[in-house]
Amino acid sequence: MSEKIIVIGSNSFSGASFLPYAIDEGFDVIGISRSEEPNPVFLPYKYSGGDIEFHQLDLNHDLEKIMELIKAKTPEYVVNFSAQSMVAQSWDHPDHWFKTNVVSTVQFHDQLRSCDFLKKYVHISTPEVYGSCEGCIKESNSYYPSTPYAVSRAAADMSLHTFFNSYQFPVVFTRAANVYGPGQQLYRIIPRTILFIKLGKKLQLHGGGISERSFIHMEDVSDATLRIMKEGSPGEIFHIATENSITIRRLVELICDLMGVRFEDHVDIAEERLGKDAAYLLDSSKVRNTVGWKDQVSLKDGVLSVLHWIEKNLDILKQQPFDYVHKP
């Protein structure tokens, strides 16, 4: 019989992109998300020829049902992509972020630790927990979160460290750089820039785009996540990143160049967002040396993959919301 994975947050961009890799590896996959499945254009596993058993359940309200499902399915692995994930909007309703990312998540962990059939729990964390950093940081870097979102994620991570130390709970952590790829939400910088250019809309570039980031294609992240799930030692943190970085402005300029348009014609400079980190560049040598992973998709090729996805699905995508819609 195939080993089972339960993916929490299977409708998220990262979760839905991870699923084809798990399916191709022969795992029996069960997905859980609080919302019904969106348009298939946002579910990479749908257009990769895969399928999963899906359950619409909310970690904030359906924990008992989630645990009943997990105990009935007895998965070897649980991979948790779920979180209230928007940084800027977390200032508006910080209690919502703490409810989902701390209270409900810790309650889930406390029940999950009694599942003795579980080989590995993969907690998808974020480099936002480090705050703004200088240089290329390792997994041992101290937490210094600078937004309600980042604080809520750091709190859950610290709780899990205590669960590992006290209960030997088989958790591994991943922290990926800025992810992108086909199927990503339209409010993220790469699809948003491409779509706005296609539709003749002006892009607001906060702070002039001076923030520096490492962008990594979701195919590479999914590959790393699956390797870490199978081979990573409990208690360990793994950074997933390319060895290159780029400012947001240069990224937008690259997109404009690839689309044959002038940056000045499509971009307006706006004020910087509150608490935005200037940079967090991740040292990914650990995942490369431990599980034999390396990134394969260049930034240019990755941006072109998003451009092709948008061009292929433009009639559908232009009918979708362009901005983040908060769900308490």
Residue 206 lies in a domain: no
CA gap 212, 226 in Å, rounded? 27
Residue 228 lies in a domain: yes
Residue 252 lies in a domain: no
Residue 205 lies in a domain: no
Please state the domain count of the chain. 1
The whole-number pLDDT of residue 14 equals 97
Residue 73, helix vs strand vs coil? helix
Helix (H) or strand (E) holding 70: helix 63-73
Question: 113: closest CA among 238, 234, 233?
Answer: 234
Helix (H) or strand (E) holding 80: strand 77-80
Residue 11 lies in a domain: yes
Could you read off the pLDDT tens digit of each residue along the chain, which spans 328 residues?
A: 689 999 999 999 999 999 999 999 999 999 999 999 999 999 988 877 778 999 999 999 999 999 999 999 999 999 999 999 888 899 999 999 999 999 999 999 999 999 999 999 999 999 999 988 778 899 999 999 999 999 999 999 999 999 999 999 999 999 998 999 999 999 999 999 999 999 999 998 887 888 888 999 999 999 999 999 999 999 999 999 999 999 999 999 999 999 999 999 999 987 765 555 556 689 999 999 999 999 999 999 999 999 999 999 999 999 999 888 777 7
Q: Which domain holds residue 9?
A: 4-179+215-240
The whole-number pLDDT of residue 132 equals 80
Residue 201 lies in a domain: no
Helix (H) or strand (E) holding 302: helix 299-312
Residue 34 lies in a domain: yes
Burial of 181 (0-12, 13-18, 19+ CB in 10 A): buried
Residue 225 lies in a domain: yes
Question: 306: closest CA among 258, 269, 241?
Answer: 258
The whole-number pLDDT of residue 323 equals 86
Give the burial string for 246-258 (b: 16+ CB within 10 Å, else e).
Answer: bebbebbbbbbee
Instruction: Residue 23: give its domain's CATH number.
Output: 3.40.50.720
